[in-house]
Amino acid sequence: MALILIVDDDPGLRNSFARLIEQDGHVPLTAANGEEGIARLESDRPDLVVMDVRMPGMTGLEALARMKAKDPATPVIIMTAYGNTDTAIEAVNKGAFDYILKPFDIPEMLGLIAQALDASRQAKGHKAQPSPGEGPAVALVGQSRAMRDVYKQLGRLAATDATVLVQGESGTGKELAARALWSYSDRKSRPFVVVNCVAIPETLLESELFGHEKGAFTGATQRRAGKIEQAQGGTVFLDEIGDMPLPIQAKLLRLLQERQIERLGGKGPIPVDVRIVAATNRDLEAAMADGRFREDLYYRLQVVRIVLPPLRERKEDIPQLATHFLGLHAAAMNVQSPGLTPQALAALADHDWPGNVRELSNVLQKTLIFSRGLAIGEYDVRAALAGRSPEAPHEIGAEAVQAVEEYVRQAVAAGGPDLFGQVTDRFAALVLAEALRITGGNRTQASKLLGLSRPTLLAKMEKLGLTVQTQVKIGDTLS
Ligand SMILES: Nc1ncnc2c1ncn2[C@@H]1O[C@H](COP(=O)(O)OP(=O)(O)OP(=O)(O)O)[C@@H](O)[C@H]1O
Ligand SMILES: [Mg+2]
């Protein structure tokens, strides 16, 4: 049995939640706002706090920071509205035990409460985490379970100086995650420096990282500080570390162990204060087995790992990511961000995304060009995925053409009183129904897509007996 403090401005939620907690065998306490919550924490010493973020007056995050300052040992679970990643990362970064999305799933909430109570029993007297720099700067989109776990890890690790290895397939967001670690850390006011270990030839990489003295090698006409020195106080992101040449790996290891570097041709070690975040999309274990990666460096790097899941394993993130990227690309193109039809979303969900989030971003950029200001439909998505060019959107496969020709042949052979009218009406109905389908039934957009005026479209729909929901197949008989 534990004493659990619920802080939420919604009395309905407080009451039903309190009952739930009683049923679970605990004793609920309630507070209607942040100030009251802090007062109750001091007076009643609950074992756990569950707090809303959006409350009038002090926000849940401010209250969280004050609670953690007064009493770091009591776990706080934050309840946040769907879609608010920044808040989630910030909450964990400010020391929240975890966060849960509202409206929450009851078994999930009870599970979290049990975990938090367990953890706090084990870790009484735990140190509070330092508070992050000002506002969030890096927005990671997606609320899948897997990504929420990543946000929690980022939140916890941002406050530390631990060397972190970010792993994940190409395009999963490794660099973005590394930036998030930096932007939620106390190092935020200092540089974030990126070094790509593959893009730079081996001979240059060493001087790029560690710098050189004048005359250290032919062409070293000036003394130059390396990227690591340039990042003093900040974070160095070593991208594609699996490709780092062995001699440089040795120097990196020395940096990690001794926190100092030496310039090429230098006269002695220079102390540096940098945090290292490394990324790779390779199997470092295989590289180690092949002798291309130092074992000692591998063991040092893999202590703290963040693994970004491939997009195909978190397809529930696609709609949110799609809207996010359409917004970004539309803004860059100076156009209004169009919507996606449900069919377009289904087509996006159908794809396997070997290039992960980057591929999704690229495909949406292309669909914007295809859609010419209209809602993005299934056709646009399929065309963008197939890599077709928007200049030739009407290219049709030979099989499809043959099928249509066959239909016409049969229809003409069968004959009929108004043969021409019947066949052309049937095609007209197909074209209109498809345009309505891919625009999600929006008649204004469908008329634009078809190059008809809206009244003409409406008149033709009327004549053909179509509604926005009508589904037409070529074999259907029209009434
Ligand atoms: N969760 C996310 N939310 C928003 N944007 C994302 C997310 N993940 C990735 N992106 C975007 O997708 C693109 C690719 O991400 P990033 O460069 O971080 O991937 P990467 O894992 O480093 O890829 P590579 O291995 O190819 O270098 C970037 O434009 C990034 O901003
Ligand atoms: Mg990258």
Category of 201 on φ-ψ map: left (φ > 0), alpha (ψ -120 to 50) or beta: beta
What are the residues whose beta carbons fall under 8 Å from the beta carbon of 321, sequence distance 6 or more?
A: 141, 142, 311, 357, 360, 361
Ligand that lies nearest to the alpha carbon of residue 329, given by its number in the listed order? 1
Cα angle vertex 359, ends 355, 365, to 5°? 170
Tokens 């509202």 appear where?
102
pLDDT at 361: 96
Ligand 1, atom 28: closest residue by C-alpha? 358
pLDDT at 394 over 70: no
Ligand 1, atom 26: closest residue by C-alpha? 170
Cα separation of 274 and 287, whole Å?
26
Provide the token pair at 446: 């469908």
Closest ligand 1 atom, residue 171 Cα: 23
176 in ligand 1 pocket by Cβ < 6 Å?
Answer: yes
Ligand 1, atom 25: closest residue by C-alpha? 170
Ligand that lies nearest to the alpha carbon of residue 328, given by its number in the listed order? 1
| Ligand 1 center–CA 363 separation, angstroms | 14
140 in ligand 1 pocket by Cβ < 6 Å?
Answer: yes
Q: Find which of 32-36, 91-95, 155-159, 282-286 is predicted with most confidence, using mean pLDDT.
A: 32-36
pLDDT at 70 over 80: yes
361 in ligand 1 pocket by Cβ < 6 Å?
Answer: yes
Ligand 1, atom 23: closest residue by C-alpha? 171
pLDDT at 414: 86
Q: For 456-478, what is each residue's pLDDT tens digit?
A: 899 899 888 888 877 777 666 54
Closest ligand 1 atom, residue 140 Cα: 3
Q: Give the residue-averaged pLDDT of 366-376.
A: 79
Ligand that lies nearest to the alpha carbon of residue 280, given by its number in the listed order? 1
170 in ligand 1 pocket by Cβ < 6 Å?
Answer: yes
173 in ligand 1 pocket by Cβ < 6 Å?
Answer: yes
Category of 291 on φ-ψ map: left (φ > 0), alpha (ψ -120 to 50) or beta: left
Integer angstrom CA distances of residue 190 from 177, 195, 363: 17, 16, 35
> 5 - beta bridge partners?
29, 49
Closest ligand 1 atom, residue 169 Cα: 25
Encode burial over 327-344: b for 16+ CB neighbours within 10 A, e otherwise.
eebbeeeeeebbbbbebb
Give all domains of the chain, ordered by start, each with its CATH number: 3-131 (3.40.50.2300), 155-307 (3.40.50.300), 311-385 (1.10.8.60), 398-464 (1.10.10.60)
Cα separation of 184 and 88, whole Å?
12
| Ligand 1 center–CA 236 separation, angstroms | 17
Ligand that lies nearest to the alpha carbon of residue 171, given by its number in the listed order? 1
Percent of the chain with pLDDT over 70: 92
Cα separation of 93 and 86, whole Å?
10
357 in ligand 1 pocket by Cβ < 6 Å?
Answer: yes
pLDDT at 380 over 50: yes
Of 384, 378, 380, 316, the residue nearest 343 (C-alpha): 378
174 in ligand 1 pocket by Cβ < 6 Å?
Answer: yes
Mean pLDDT, the chain, rounded, equals 86
Pick 223 or 390 by higher pLDDT: 223
| Ligand 1 center–CA 175 separation, angstroms | 6
Pick 253 or 413 by higher pLDDT: 253
pLDDT at 198: 85
pLDDT at 121: 73
| Ligand 2 center–CA 97 separation, angstroms | 30
Closest ligand 1 atom, residue 166 Cα: 21
pLDDT at 353: 96
- Residue 223, judged by CB atoms within 10 A of its CB (0-12, 13-18, 19+), counts as middle
Q: For 189-198, what is each residue's pLDDT tens digit?
A: 888 999 998 8
| Ligand 2 center–CA 175 separation, angstroms | 5
Q: For 191-239, what is each residue's pLDDT tens digit?
A: 899 999 887 888 889 999 999 988 888 888 888 889 999 899 999 999 9
| Ligand 2 center–CA 286 separation, angstroms | 20
Closest ligand 1 atom, residue 175 Cα: 18
DSSP assignment, residue 138? -
Q: Which long-range contacts (CB under 8 A, 24 or more apart) does 76-82 make?
A: 76/48, 76/49, 76/50, 76/51, 77/48, 77/49, 77/50, 77/51, 77/112, 77/113, 77/116, 78/51, 78/52, 78/53, 79/8, 79/50, 79/51, 79/52, 79/53, 79/104, 80/53, 81/53, 81/54, 82/143
Q: For 441-452, what is each residue's pLDDT tens digit?
A: 888 888 888 888
Cα separation of 84 and 100, whole Å?
11
Q: For 287-306, what is each residue's pLDDT tens digit?
A: 999 999 999 999 999 889 99
| Ligand 2 center–CA 433 separation, angstroms | 43
